[in-house]
Copies of this chain bind each other. A is one copy, B any other.
Amino acid sequence: PRLRDLGVEVGVFAPGPLNAITDVAGVRVGHDTLIEGDRLRTGATAIVPHEGDLFQEKVPAAVVVGNGFGKLVGSTQVNELGQLETPILLTNTLNVWEAAATLAEEALAAPGNEAVRSVNPVVGETNDGYLNDIRSRALKPEHFRAALSGAESGPVEEGSVGAGTGTRTMGYKGGIGTSSRKLPHSLGGGYTVGVLTQTNFSGLLTVAGAPVWRDFGPKPYPEHDLSSKDGSCMIVVATDAPIDARQLKRLALRALVGMGRTGADFSNGSGDYVIAFSTSELVRIQADQSEQTIPRLSEASLTPLFDAVAEATEEAILNAILRATTVQGRDGNVSEAIPIERLKDSLRRYGAISSDDE
């Protein structure tokens, strides 16, 4: 189930119709999942900001580093120019370079880009090496192309799929999750914020504030062992608000706030990154124009968007966990889906579900 199917709400703003990053018009998501034999449990997820050629019509973007372990391929150019010029791919830690090369090749091969000799692909990752034979680096260009070409609007598949196939989160199976917020016109100009997360981090699972980890584990620091404290979280934030790269960076930081509320511990080995972009046609960067006229929202008007990003990130992470299914992988390693009935009991105990909600 998704979080709201349990009768649990996070925050104060209403989700968009799909409660997904695809509520931001034009955004498409595609997955490619690789489950093969006993040892491969991995995949890729593509987030495509708009229908056009991203290289010719770049979007304002920013990257924020929560904890810079791991890789966020392409981050320096995004922050220097404030622009994203390819779709975003998420995948496993040791296949990021193949993912980036595939994005570059797609851009070079696109009609109109025959003279392009530089492109900056953006790829994020988390480490699925507990379930997946990550050292085999099994993903190939065809997997990334499949994720890209399969990207579509509409509902987003969540859980143990695509780049979330082999990920684990706070003791349970994690994966891909998404959520959105549609602001009222009177407050946030009616803009939409959508978030997609690839969850793979340690911490103390907290659902809408309820410390469910106290009820049914796992134990923090079992045997005083640090090895279970690890992981990573990739967060992609999309909005149709016409805001610039500096403002997107401010938004992106609030995604980390939402992540923190789920119990994430931002441990030393966690690669926690946020990529935020605006899909607004009003602020796209036309490659051939030296001057454009654009809207500029005031800084004060960002506050509701900040809240929306934090809420949607928290809910997207919880959706990832709730929709993930048990996966057995390499060497018999198993990551269990969260037990929904026990979770509901716990949520009732903490007043996050009332009896009426059942």
Chain A residues with CB under 8 Å of chain B are 11-12, 65-77, 79-83, 93-94, 97-98, 100-101, 104-105, 108, 116-121, 127, 129, 134-135, 137, 184, 186-187, 189, 204, 206, 208-211, 220-221, 224, 226, 229, 244-246, 250, 253-254, 256-258, 260-261, 264-269, 271, 273, 285, 289-304, 306-307, 310, 349-352
Chain B hits for A229, CB < 8 A = 303
- Complex CA distance for A98 and B294, rounded to whole angstroms: 39
B67 touches A250 (CB 8 A): yes
Residue in chain B with minimal CB distance to A83:
B299
Given contacts A69-B80, A73-B73, A93-B117, 8 further A-B contacts (CB under 8 A): A65-B80, A67-B253, A101-B137, A209-B209, A244-B246, A267-B303, A268-B300, A290-B298
Question: Nearest 3 CB-CB pairs, A to B?
Answer: A68-B80, A209-B209, A117-B129
The contact of A69 among B81, B105, B350, by CB within 8 Å, is B81
- Can you show 17 pairs from A to B with CB atoms below 8 A apart? A12-B220, A65-B76, A66-B253, A69-B80, A71-B120, A72-B76, A73-B97, A97-B104, A101-B137, A118-B127, A187-B224, A187-B226, A226-B303, A256-B260, A260-B260, A290-B298, A292-B295
Chain B hits for A67, CB < 8 A = 80, 250, 253
A295 touches B300 (CB 8 A): no
Chain B hits for A224, CB < 8 A = 184, 186-187
Residue in chain B with minimal CB distance to A101:
B97
B73 touches A68 (CB 8 A): no
Chain B hits for A266, CB < 8 A = 253-254, 257, 306, 310
Chain B hits for A302, CB < 8 A = 268
Residue in chain B with minimal CB distance to A79:
B68
Knowing A261-B260, A261-B261, say if A226 contacts B300 (CB, 8 Å). yes
A290 touches B297 (CB 8 A): yes
Most B C-beta atoms less than 10 A away, residue of A12, A295, A300: A300
Chain B hits for A267, CB < 8 A = 303, 306
- Complex CA distance for A347 and B334, rounded to whole angstroms: 36
B187 touches A221 (CB 8 A): yes
Chain B hits for A350, CB < 8 A = 209-210, 350-352
A296 touches B306 (CB 8 A): no
Residue in chain B with minimal CB distance to A289:
B298
Chain B hits for A74, CB < 8 A = 71
B204 touches A12 (CB 8 A): yes
A291 touches B298 (CB 8 A): yes
Chain B hits for A93, CB < 8 A = 117-118
